[in-house]
Structure 1
Amino acid sequence: MTSEGAVFDLGYEQYRGPRLSDRQVFWRMVIDGLKKSVGIGKRARNKAFPFSLVALAILPALGVVVIQVVAKIFGLPLSGDVLLDDREYFDWTSQLIFFFVAVAVPNLLIPDRVENVLLVYTSRPPTINTYLVARLVAMAISVGVFLMIPQLVLLIGEALISPSFFGHLADNLAFWWRVPLTSFAYLAVNVGVAALVAAYINNRGAAIAIYIIGVNVLNGVGIGLSSINEYFSLLSIQFWPTRIRDWVFGVNTLDDFPGADLPIVAVLATTIAFLILAVALILRRYRKLI
C-alpha cells in the first residue's frame, strides 16, 4: 500500500450564473407548465391537439361577429336565435375544455413524478406546495384563456358594430363578473377531477381514459338515478358548473333535467366539498413522494 495520491481535475466549476429569487423560480415553473400544457417544446403532433381545440373555441365566435358585420353592412334582419350569446357559448367551450384538460393535466403532472424529477423541483427554494400551486396556476391560465378569449371576441365584436363602442361595454358590465365566475366554475371542476386522477395514476394514457370514462359514467348514473331523487343528480360532475352558470346568468336551461330545481346552495356545497377533498388527497399523495 502506498501513501501517495493523485488529484484529478474532472472539470467541475462553481455555478456563477444568475440566482433566481423564490418569486422568479415560481413564475419559471408556471411558464414551464404553460408550455407543457399546450405541447410547446415537443413534436408537432403534441401541439396539434391543444391548438386544434383552441381554434375550435375561437372560430365560432369569429363567425358570429362576421355574420353580425355582414348583416349590418347589407341591412339584413338578424334573429337572435341564430347567434350564440355569452351564456350559450359556454355550452360549446365547456365540451372543448373537457378534452383539453383530459390531456393537459396528465401531461403536466405525471412525467415529473414518473421520471423522478420532483426532488429537483423541490430542492431549494421551492417546496412541494410551491410546485403544485405553480402547476395549478399554469392550468388556470391556459384554461382561463381558453374560456375567456372567445367571450371577449363576442363582446368586442358586438361593441364594434354597435352605435357606441363604449356605450355597449357600459351596457354589458355584468359580463365582467358573470363570464369570469362561470369560467372559474368550469375550470375548477374539470381541473380538480383531472388533477385528482393524474395524481394517483402513473400512466398518461390510463389517466386520460379514466378521466373521460369516469366522468361520463358518473354523468350517466346521476341522470339515471335523478328520476328517483333529484339529489342523485349531484353525482353528475358536469352538472355542477352548468347549474352554477345558469344561476349566475339568472336562467334555467336544464328544464328536462330532474336536478334543475336543486337549491344552488346544494350544488355549491357539493362543488366546494369536492374541491377541498381533491386538494387534500393530492397534497397527501405528493407529500408522501418527497
Structure 2
Amino acid sequence: MPDPSSRPAAAPTGVIHDIGYQRYTGPRLGRWQVFGALYGHGLRTAFGLGRSAKAKIFPWLIVAIVVLVAAGATAVRAQIGEVVLTYAQFADAMSWLVIFFVAVVAPELVSRDLRSGVLPLYFSRPLPRADYPLAKLAALVSALWLLLGAPQLLMFLGAAFSTGDGWRGTWNELLDLLPGLLYAGLWAVVFASIGLLVASLTGKRAFAAGGVVAVFLMTTPIVGTLSVMPSTTVNELALLGSPSTIVQAVGTWALGDLLIAPGSGDAGNQIGGFGPLYALAALGLVVVSVVLLLARYRKVAS
C-alpha cells in the first residue's frame, strides 16, 4: 500500500497577481467636502454648466431676458434721469420667470437622481441623509439669488456711473440696492424650498415641472377670489392664498415705497396691519417645506 505522504501535492486552484494597484494614501475628505461637492455640482447643473448644449438653452435664455430687462431699465434711466424700475421692483417684475426657472431646474437637481436610482450610492458614503437635500436646496437658492441679484448689480453700476452727486449719490444708490438684494433672497428662499419639495416627490421630470408650476400659478385665482370678498379683513388677508403674493406682501410691508410700482393697483398693496403675519407666513412656508423635504429623504432609498 503506497504511503500517503508520498502522494504529489494538489496543484493550486488560484493565485493572486500583483498588477501594480496601490492603496490610497492621500487625505480622506469628510462630510463637508462631500456637501460642498454636491452644492457645487447642483449650482452648475442649475445653469447647465458641464452638460450638453440643450441643457443650457433654457437657463441661459432666462438669464438673457433678466439681463436685457436690467440693461433696458438702466439705459432708460440714463436717458430721462428718472428711476423707472427700482431694485426691489425688478425682483417682482421677474417673478414669473423665476417660477419657470424653478420648474425646470428643481427636477434636474433631484428628480433625475430619483429616477436613475443613484441615491443609495450617495448615502453609502459619509453623507448624512439630511445633507443631500440641504445641499441641493442651497444650490437652488444660490442660483435663484444670482438670477435676480446679478442684474440688480448691473443696474447699480449703471446708476452709480451716471449719478451727478459723486460719492454721495453712489452711497445712496447702494442703500437702495441692499434692500433689493435682500428681497431677491426672500424670493429665492421661498421659491426654492417649495419647488424642491414638489420636485422631490417624483422621479419624472415632466410631472415634477408641472407640479411646481401648478403650486405657484394655480393658487393665484384664490387670491383673486378673496380680494373681491365684501369683508375688508378678508381682502387684506387675500394674499395668503399664494406663495408668490405672500412674498410680495412681505416686500410691501418691509420695503414700502421701494416696491410700489406705478400702475400696480391697490390690491397688491392693501395688507392693512397684517404685515407681520405675512412675514410669519413666509417663514412658516420655508420651515414646513424644508422639514417635509428632510422627511422625504429619510424614507427614500432606505
Please report the TM-score for the alignment, with normalisation by the length of structure 2.
Answer: 0.83
Aligned to 2:106: 105
Shift of 1:49: 0.3
Aligned equivalents of 1:165 and 1:154: distance in 2? 17
Aligned equivalents of 2:177 and 2:190: distance in 1? 21
Aligned to 1:240: 246
Matched-pair contact (CA < 8 Å) for 2:160–2:173: no
> What SS class does the counterpart of residue 201 from structure 1 fall into?
coil
Aligned equivalents of 1:162 and 1:224: distance in 2? 44
| Structure-to-structure mapping, 1:157-176, within 5 angstroms | 157-176=158-177
Matched-pair contact (CA < 8 Å) for 2:38–2:132: yes
Q: Does 1:260 align with 2:270?
A: yes
Matched-pair contact (CA < 8 Å) for 2:113–2:203: no
Aligned to 1:140: 141
Residue 49 of structure 2 is aligned with which of 37, 40, 57? 40
145-154 or 19-28: bigger deviation: 19-28
17-26 or 243-252: bigger deviation: 17-26
Give 1 or 2 for the bigger CA radius of gyration. 2
Identity %: 26
Residue 26 of structure 1 is aligned with which of 30, 35, 54? 35
Question: 2:96 corresponds to which letter in structure 1?
Answer: Q
Q: Does 1:279 align with 2:295?
A: no
Aligned to 1:86: 87
Aligned to 2:6: none
> What SS class does the counterpart of residue 172 from structure 1 fall into?
helix
- Structure 2, unaligned runs of 5 or more: 1-9
Shift of 1:50: 0.1
Shift of 1:64: 2.8
Shift of 1:138: 1.1
Shift of 1:226: 3.2
Shift of 1:222: 2.4
- Structure 1, unaligned runs of 5 or more: 72-77
46-55 or 267-276: bigger deviation: 267-276
Q: Does 1:57 align with 2:66?
A: yes
Aligned to 1:74: none
Aligned CA RMSD, in angstroms, stands at: 2.5
Matched-pair contact (CA < 8 Å) for 1:57–1:92: no
Shift of 1:177: 3.6
Matched-pair contact (CA < 8 Å) for 2:250–2:279: yes
Deviations 1:96-135 (A, max 9, x none): 2111111111110111222222232233322122222211
Residue 14 of structure 1 is aligned with which of 9, 23, 30? 23
83-92 or 55-64: bigger deviation: 83-92
- How many residues are aligned here? 281
